[in-house]
Amino acid sequence: MLDRITFDSKIMGGRACIRGMRIPVSVIVSQVAHGAPVADILQGYPDLEPQDIQQALEYAAWLTREEVRSP
């Protein structure tokens, strides 16, 4: 369950955010993808918790699931 990922049209234009804060999932996933240690991300965003980063990654993984069909 991705209960930490929220969507609100009044916050960041409805983009996927962490727990209703103005922290888009895409920003967190991008930082992880570029090698930022979790400790550094948490330091840069003091309102985040380690579980927020984990769910951001789980959400990104879910978005990339593709169904490949053979002809």
Token code pair at residue 68: 């490949």
Q: Parse the chain into domains and list their residue ranges.
A: 5-63
The per-residue pLDDT for 41 is 98
Q: What is the pLDDT of residues 4-60, one digit of tens each?
A: 999 999 999 999 999 999 999 999 999 999 999 999 999 999 999 999 999 999 999
Phi, psi of 5 (to 5 degrees): -95, 120
Cβ pair 12, 28 in contact under 8 A: no
- Give the rounded distance of the alpha carbon of 19 from its chain centre: 10
5-63 CATH fold: Arc Repressor Mutant, subunit A (1.10.10)
Q: What pTM does this model have?
A: 0.87
The per-residue pLDDT for 18 is 98
Residue 68: which pLDDT band, with cuts at 50, 70 and 90? confident
